[in-house]
């Protein structure tokens, strides 16, 4: 077993075994939209798991005579790479710094961060930073490729793409410009989800909830004006630091308790800002006091109320997550007591959200506006999935792709798609139904695909965002921070009457949503694209249905009015043996290379293949040992069957051989049907189950005949062994590509992975000999196996070796089963070392044995 990975992966590369035929017509192509792994993430045993699943399907289709389009992509774009580069090289990007062609990073890459762990990061220009990103991703990609080759993925390595490469950038930018021309992309100054540490906009799809401790504060709002008798308003909030940003209070329209307040105005505590009390049906009467403070902006509901109730913006939070300076008394910041507002706000200004919250609680306690003590609670807070602090909502200019208006159509697309397993569609529909806004695709980051636009700078130096200067197609890909639009000179950058480049880059999903176009080279090689698109299969894990799967469908729907692929095969996750999700922070990650070298690629693939589509699977080294045993068994069984083979006959003359082949035909039919429905696990189970049975019973039953019997009977065994071995080797080929290729090479021409998938009908025709009585013969095989088992049991009970000879064996069974047994009794006698076999009519099977009094 050892060394097969190196031997055969080199051979496959040399022979182009998995090369895609670019001349293949569309109907003979099976195109796979491979997930480009995030190569800055750590290699994970989950990669082995899900990529094996895809490879199983690819190998099956290829053996069905289909040309499989199976490229590999690397997702090197985006924040994970930036973060890794920062840590790895000890740098941070500062776009205001000019490019330094002689720059060398403070850390020697070969020594990683260990060289100077505590050093301050060095600021570098954007081009230098991007160069470091490219340097690092290049080495990361080599590590991944090495793993994939060792694992035996049957990808065509001549078609590799990256999500940051020129091809992806060109396609991504061209697609963006297409959306812009059709009004499907737009920019807007609007409240945006914002990560204060990365200082970038993030998308709804990149959010996750985390449970965090907090506190509920009951706060009094005084009535505005002089009406002493008017009621005061009580609200409850977890975010008192945003009271300065309060623009309204809202109650449910039917809430009797608030009836007196609604329509009046109240004053914010400390700041004395007049805010109206309004109604909105979304308010939950049961929650808190039934009265909610609306701030610009505390959460997404605030945004909704702000929009629907036509409220003003009063923003206190800066992009760095600190409270900005506010000119109390100026328009929009009117106060009943400007001096008091100023002195209160002085305690908050420049503070982080958490600091400001603590200060605010003290201030409210001093002023008496806090009712009772803050009540500690644990609540879910939204985080950017890669972030450290809760997301905030700040107003900024961002690019969006229209999403919400396509919701209905996207649901319909989801129903058009074949989901494997089918219930995964529910997650997609949940997500589409829950969309709360269009997709924000701009990020205030550096390592990504830039927006291919510039903006004119008018004579007064103002940037005219509403009149973007569009890059010409032949310029793509462009980097507007260094490239110059056609109508301008480089010297005009940033000058009045000149231009500026759009400073942002696209969300990584804005490019990843185009993987079918990138892999198929849309707009670059239209002949290729027409042969592969729409693709056949999108394999991916269930956690990125809302991102990758959703956005890919959206882009394809808008651009081509079609699905990007016909099938989506959803993999589960790998859990650790305690059923916890594996993660670096838990320290429960198993590194895949170690796994492959310890157990072998076939064994690891076996374990992966036992994970059904969509099902989370616990990591289980024991299963890999089982897989290795299966591989070894196939090796040994093949060795037995193929060594010193008597001459093959043309036909299967022996009933036992025919029956075995008939069963095999049924297994082939089952495995084929399962694979057609993406149920590779079932295909493996059925094949494996029958293969062990075949080794334990059939091979034992025919062993004697193969060595000793008359030429014609032996010729039938030879023929049966050749047929069955060939079929087993091909059935196992998708799962155990290395060992099957090895055993195939012993006696066949070419690669097993280019061999034709076994045909159930053809096998069955071998089983129907001229005088074949199929039902009777299949029963014969079953009864023979039963008798053999009973004989073994008797020997085991008597603590005798299996080779111990039996002087006399009496088999009692029904007449029908005995009739069947007679057809094959010669093999049973040899396999059991039986000297005299007697058959006795009875009700059910029972076997009596007498041991021969031999030399023992």
Under rule CB under 7 A, which residues in 539-578 are in contact with RNA? 542-543, 546
Instruction: Give burial (CB, 10 Å; 0-12/13-18/19+) of 185.
Output: buried
Q: Is residue 616 a contact point for RNA (CB under 7 A)? A: yes
Q: Is residue 633 a contact point for RNA (CB under 7 A)? A: yes
Q: Is residue 773 a contact point for RNA (CB under 7 A)? A: no
Please tell me whether residue 614 adopts helix, strand or coil conformation.
Answer: coil
Choose which of 349, 677, 682, 808 interacts with RNA (CB under 7 A).
682
Under rule CB under 7 A, which residues in 689-748 are in contact with RNA? 689, 692, 695-696, 699-700, 703
Under rule CB under 7 A, which residues in 594-613 are in contact with RNA? 612
Under rule CB under 7 A, which residues in 94-153 are in contact with RNA? none
Under rule CB under 7 A, which residues in 300-359 are in contact with RNA? 300-301, 304
Q: Residues 766, 769, 773, CA angle at the centre, nearest 5°? A: 120
Under rule CB under 7 A, which residues in 478-517 are in contact with RNA? none
Binding characters for RNA, 192-211, by CB under 7 A (x = yes): ------------x--xxx--
Helix (H) or strand (E) holding 429: helix 425-433
Q: Is residue 581 a contact point for RNA (CB under 7 A)? A: yes
Q: Is residue 431 a contact point for RNA (CB under 7 A)? A: yes
Question: Which is closer to RNA, CB of 84 or CB of 706?
Answer: 706
Question: Which is closer to RNA, CB of 209 or CB of 325?
Answer: 209
547/507 Cα distance (integer angstroms): 11
Q: Is residue 802 a contact point for RNA (CB under 7 A)? A: yes
Tell me which stretch binds RNA (CB under 7 A): 40-48, 754-762, 797-805, 820-828: 797-805
Q: Is residue 835 a contact point for RNA (CB under 7 A)? A: no
What are the CA-CA distances from residue 274 to residues 168, 233, 247, 339, 347 (Å)? Answer: 52, 13, 8, 16, 21
We find the least distance from the C-beta atom of residue 703 to RNA, in angstroms, to be 6
5/596 Cα distance (integer angstroms): 10
Question: Which is closer to RNA, CB of 153 or CB of 634?
Answer: 634
The total of other beta-carbon atoms located within 10 Å of residue 181's CB is 10
Question: Which is closer to RNA, CB of 29 or CB of 634?
Answer: 634
Helix (H) or strand (E) holding 811: strand 806-813
What number of CA atoms fall less than 13 Å from residue 522's CA on the CB side? 22
Under rule CB under 7 A, which residues in 360-399 are in contact with RNA? 377, 379-382
Q: Is residue 282 a contact point for RNA (CB under 7 A)? A: yes
Q: Is residue 590 a contact point for RNA (CB under 7 A)? A: no
Question: Which is closer to RNA, CB of 366 or CB of 796?
Answer: 796
Task: Tell how far CA 673 is from the center of its chain.
Answer: 25
> Would you say how long the chain is, in residues?
856
The string of DSSP letters for 367-381 reads HT-EEEEEEEEEEEE
Q: Is residue 283 a contact point for RNA (CB under 7 A)? A: yes
Question: Which is closer to RNA, CB of 517 or CB of 540?
Answer: 540
Choose which of 629, 754, 756, 816 interacts with RNA (CB under 7 A).
629
Binding characters for RNA, 220-239, by CB under 7 A (x = yes): ---------------xxxx-
Question: Which is closer to RNA, CB of 124 or CB of 779?
Answer: 779
Q: Is residue 795 a contact point for RNA (CB under 7 A)? A: yes
Which residue in 705, 559, 511 sits closest to 38, CA to CA? 511
Which residue in 338, 300, 140, 319 sits closest to 207, CA to CA? 300
Q: Is residue 1 a contact point for RNA (CB under 7 A)? A: yes
We find the least distance from the C-beta atom of residue 729 to RNA, in angstroms, to be 14
Tell me which stretch binds RNA (CB under 7 A): 61-69, 391-399, 563-571, 625-633: 625-633
Q: Is residue 407 a contact point for RNA (CB under 7 A)? A: no
332/345 Cα distance (integer angstroms): 15
How many chain residues interact with RNA (CB under 7 A)? Answer: 79
Question: Which is closer to RNA, CB of 31 or CB of 244?
Answer: 244
Long-range contacts of 173-177, Cβ-Cβ distance < 8 Å, separation of 24 or more = 173/449, 173/450, 173/451, 173/452, 173/471, 173/476, 173/477, 173/478, 174/473, 174/476, 174/523, 175/514, 175/517, 175/555, 175/559, 176/451, 176/452, 176/506, 176/510, 177/452, 177/470, 177/471, 177/473
């Amino acid at each position: 077993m050892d060394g097969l990975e190196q031997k055969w992966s080199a051979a496959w590369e040399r022979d182009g075994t998995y090369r895609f035929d670019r001349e293949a017509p569309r109907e003979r192509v099976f195109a796979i939209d491979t997930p480009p792994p995030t190569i800055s993430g750590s290699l994970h045993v989950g990669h082995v798991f899900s990529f094996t699943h895809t490879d199983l399907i690819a190998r099956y289709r290829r053996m069905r005579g289909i040309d499989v389009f199976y490229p590999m992509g690397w997702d090197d774009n985006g924040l994970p790479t930036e973060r890794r580069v920062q840590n790895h090289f000890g740098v941070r990007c500062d776009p205001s710094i000019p490019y330094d062609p002689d720059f060398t990073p403070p850390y020697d890459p070969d020594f990683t961060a260990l060289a100077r762990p505590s050093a301050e990061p060095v600021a570098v220009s954007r081009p230098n930073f991007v160069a470091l990103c490219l340097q690092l991703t290049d080495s990361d990609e080599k590590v991944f490729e090495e793993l994939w080759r060792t694992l035996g993925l049957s990808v065509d390595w001549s078609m590799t793409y990256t999500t940051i490469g020129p091809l992806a950038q060109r396609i991504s930018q061209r697609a963006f410009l297409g959306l812009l021309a059709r009004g499907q992309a737009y920019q807007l100054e609007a409240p945006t989800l914002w990560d204060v540490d990365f200082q970038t906009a993030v998308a709804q799809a990149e959010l996750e909830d985390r449970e965090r401790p907090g506190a509920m504060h009951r706060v009094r709002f005084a009535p505005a004006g002089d009406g002493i008798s008017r009621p005061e308003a009580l609200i409850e909030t977890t975010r008192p630091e945003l009271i300065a940003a309060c623009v309204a209070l809202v109650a449910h329209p039917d809430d009797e308790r608030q009836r007196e307040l609604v329509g009046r105005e109240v004053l914010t505590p400390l700041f004395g800002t007049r805010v109206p009390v309004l109604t909105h049906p979304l308010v939950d009467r049961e929650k808190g006091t039934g009265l909610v403070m609306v701030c610009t902006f505390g959460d997404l509901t605030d945004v909704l109320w702000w929009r629907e109730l036509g409220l003003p913006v009063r923003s206190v939070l800066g992009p760095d997550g600190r409270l900005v300076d506010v000119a109390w008394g100026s328009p929009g910041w009117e106060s009943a007591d400007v001096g008091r507002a100023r002195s209160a706000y002085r305690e908050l200004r420049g503070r982080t959200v958490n600091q400001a919250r603590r200060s605010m609680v003290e201030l409210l306690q001093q002023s008496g506006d806090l009712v009772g003590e803050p009540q500690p609670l644990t609540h879910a807070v939204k985080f950017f999935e890669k972030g450290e602090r809760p997301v905030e909502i700040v107003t900024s200019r961002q690019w969006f792709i229209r999403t919400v208006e396509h919701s209905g159509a996207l649901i319909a697309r989801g129903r058009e798609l074949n989901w494997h397993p089918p219930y995964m569609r529910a997650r997609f529909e949940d997500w589409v139904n829950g969309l709360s806004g269009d997709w924000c695709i701009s990020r205030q980051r550096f390592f990504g695909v830039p927006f291919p636009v510039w903006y004119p700078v008018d004579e007064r130096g103002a940037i005219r965002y509403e009149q973007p200067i569009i890059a010409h197609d032949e310029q793509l890909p462009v980097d507007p921070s260094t490239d110059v639009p056609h109508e301008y000179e480089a010297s005009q950058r940033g000058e009045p009457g000149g231009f500026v480049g759009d400073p942002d880059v696209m969300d990584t999903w804005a490019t990843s949503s185009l993987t079918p176009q990138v892999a198929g080279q849309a707009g670059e090689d239209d002949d290729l694209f027409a042969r592969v698109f729409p693709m056949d299969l999108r394999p991916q894990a269930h956690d990125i249905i809302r991102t990758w799967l959703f956005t890919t469908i959206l882009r394809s729907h808008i651009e081509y009015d079609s699905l990007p692929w016909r099938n989506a095969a959803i993999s589960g996750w790998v859990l650790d043996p305690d059923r916890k999700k594996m993660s670096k922070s838990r320290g429960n990650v198993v590194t895949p290379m170690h796994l492959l070298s310890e157990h072998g690629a076939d064994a690891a693939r076996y374990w992966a293949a036992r994970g059904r589509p969509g099902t989370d699977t616990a990591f289980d080294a024991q299963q890999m040992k089982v897989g290795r045993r299966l591989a070894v068994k196939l090796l040994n069984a093949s060795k037995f069957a193929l060594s010193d083979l008597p001459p093959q006959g043309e036909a299967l003359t022996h009933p036992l051989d025919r029956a075995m082949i008939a069963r095999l035909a049924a297994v082939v039919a089952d495995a084929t049907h399962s694979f057609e429905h993406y149920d590779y696990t079932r295909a493996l189970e059925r094949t494996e189950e029958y293969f062990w049975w075949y080794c334990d019973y059939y091979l034992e039953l025919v062993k004697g005949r193969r060595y000793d019997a008359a030429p014609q009977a032996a010729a039938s065994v030879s023929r049966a062994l050749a047929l069955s071995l060939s079929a087993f080797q091909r059935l196992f080929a998708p799962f155990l590509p290395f060992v099957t290729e090895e055993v195939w090479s012993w006696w066949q021409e070419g690669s097993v992975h280019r061999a034709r998938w076994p045909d159930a009908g053809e096998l069955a025709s071998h089983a129907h000999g001229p005088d074949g009585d199929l039902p009777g013969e299949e029963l014969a095989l079953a009864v023979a196996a039963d008798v053999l088992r009973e004989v073994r049991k008797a020997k085991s009970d008597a603590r005798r070796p299996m080779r111990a000879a039996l002087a006399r064996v009496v088999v009692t069974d029904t007449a029908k089963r005995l009739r069947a047994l007679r057809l094959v009794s010669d093999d049973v006698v040899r396999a059991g070392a039986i000297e005299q076999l007697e058959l006795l009519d009875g009700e059910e099977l029972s076997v009596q044995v007498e041991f021969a009094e031999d030399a023992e």
